[in-house]
Amino acid sequence: MKKNTCHQSALDVALLQYDSVAEKLDIEPGIRETLRHPQFAVEVAFPVKMDDGTVKVFKGYRVIHNNARGPGKGGVRYHPDVTFDEVKALSMWMTWKCAVVGLPFGGAKGGVTCNPLEMSKGEIERLTRRFTSEISNVIGPTTDIPGPDVFTNPQVMAWMMDTYSTQKGELTPGVVTGKPIPLGGSLGRNSATAKGVVICIREAVKELGLSLNNLKIAVQGYGNVGLNAVSMLHDYGCKIVGVTDIMGGVYCENGLDPKALTNQLEKTGSIEGTPGTDDLSNEDLFGLDCDVLIPAAIGNQITQDNAETIKAKIIAEGANGPTTPEADKILCDKGVMIIPDVLANAGGVTVSYFEWVQNLMRYYWSEEEVHERLERIMTESFTAVLGAAKEKGTSLRAAAYNLAILRVSEAMKLRGISS
């Protein structure tokens, strides 16, 4: 019986995506098998003193999928649904993402199973410091460099950096990225992921012979990625017809005003009910009459249940893993151009790389320099993936995986097997 993707774990999906490309590549079987597994994975259980005086035990994970091309790189997620397997899948995706855009990093990821929305700032700080201590022999500026992910932010990165630096007896800003600017964060990091998404859309639009002017855009998620992408695309002359967040959404045939959306978000915590707009549900967003759809919220949103209804010509995956493999096939058969997550949202890790480089050099760049370098890397990466897809007659996702797996396996082959 065919497995329902909705019940597939992130790790099932990551392995399926990898196997479907790797089995067609001429790489040594031993290397191919090695890449199916994380190279290093640690699970820790640690106590945290809560505000009411009780002690609660939390589980945390850090996984390095592969470090053939450089130290592990990947965020730390705080979420009640975090599992060891999910972290393994996310670490594997990081390996491909870093390789697709040519960064000298391997893939890694971390997480703690917790609900930070129900914890005080003090509790989150104590959890962060203890988790950092538990994994301090794994992470390091030349071994494995965490960054922010779902429900972690620059403040959490500052606590991680401080805990690690205190233990090592020296200030080590390069141990994490996504730090606040006064602690060695990079200018341009906040909008980097959205900027990468927008660069990919701009190049895709060129390829399809469309124009950005009046291009109709629908976006799921109005957080770091969604909000910044909406604002940049609006400035390019695109018409933002629909946006949703976890509470609901808004629609306007003539185009939404990003300033009004952000005002509403700041006032109420959601864009829902922005004056002058009609209500829009997350289900209806996917079927909207639009040219570009940007999933920028969470994983598993585009499934076999809604893929047929999608009218967009381009899907730019701002989120990680928003499209299930079944939906991917339906959309490819319909001729939709899907810009895969490992390419579309790689602007974030690219500027994290810049932050790390600046930390190691102790020399900081202007925002303009950051943007110029990001622009070059994203444009070149998009062109390389598109070229490979055309040459081999595959989807952009298969082409991106193809490039990434070949780059990683070449590095592994050159390094050989140590004994």
Question: Rule CB under 6 A: which residues touch ligand NAD?
Answer: 150, 193, 220-226, 244-246, 282, 296-298, 318-320, 345, 348
382 alpha-carbon distance from chain centroid? 16
Residue number, 220 or 402, with CB nearest to ligand NAD: 220
Q: How far apart are CA 88 and CA 62, in angstroms?
A: 9
Q: Which residues share a beta bridge with 109?
A: 63
* DSSP state at residue 260: H
**Cα–Cα distance for residue pair 188/226, rounded to 1 Å:** 16
DSSP state for residue 300 in the 8-state scheme: S
- As measured in angstroms, the least distance from the Cβ of 116 to ligand NAD is 11
Nearer to ligand NAD, 27 or 347 (CB): 347
Q: Which C-beta is closer to ligand NAD: that of 205 or that of 296?
A: 296
Which two three-digit tokens encode residue 96?
Answer: 């491909």
**Rounded distance, CA 310 to CA 47, Å?**
46
Reported in sequence order, the residue ranges of 194-345 that DSSP labels E, i.e. its strands, are: 216-220, 239-244, 249-251, 278-279, 292-295, 314-316, 337-339
Residue 23: both structure tokens together:
């089995």
Q: Tell me which DSSP letter residue 172 carries.
A: -
Q: Whose CB is nearest to ligand NAD? A: 223
CB 403 within 8 A of CB 99: yes
DSSP secondary structure letter of residue 4: P
Q: How far is the CB of 170 from ligand NAD (least distance, A)?
A: 28
Q: What is the pairing mode between strands 144-148 and 216-220? A: unpaired
In the complex, the smallest distance separating the C-beta of residue 27 from ligand NAD, rounded to whole angstroms, is 27
Question: Which is nearer to ligand NAD, 222 or 354 (by Cβ)?
Answer: 222
Closest CA to 197 of 343, 333, 2: 343
CB of 32 to ligand NAD, least distance (A): 27
CB 93 within 8 A of CB 369: no
What is the spatial distance between Cα 388 and Cα 166, in angstroms, rounded to a whole number?
47
Collapse the DSSP code of 195 into the 3-class scheme (helix H, G, I; strand E, B; otherwise coil) and give the result. helix
Minimum distance of ligand NAD from residue 329's CB (angstroms): 21
Nearer to ligand NAD, 320 or 324 (CB): 320
* 109 is known as an active-site residue: yes
Q: Cβ 168 to ligand NAD, closest distance in Å? A: 27
The single residue of 73, 109, 195, 239 carrying the catalytic annotation is 109
The SS3 assignment for 292 reads: strand
Between 95 and 409, name the residue whose CB sits nearer to ligand NAD. Answer: 95
Q: Whole-number minimum distance, CB 2 to ligand NAD, in Å?
A: 26
In the block, tokens 């300033």 appear at 259
Instruction: Using the minimum distance from each CB to ligand NAD, give the nearer residue, 143 or 153.
Output: 153
Q: Which residue has the tokens 């031993």?
A: 30
Catalytic residues: 109
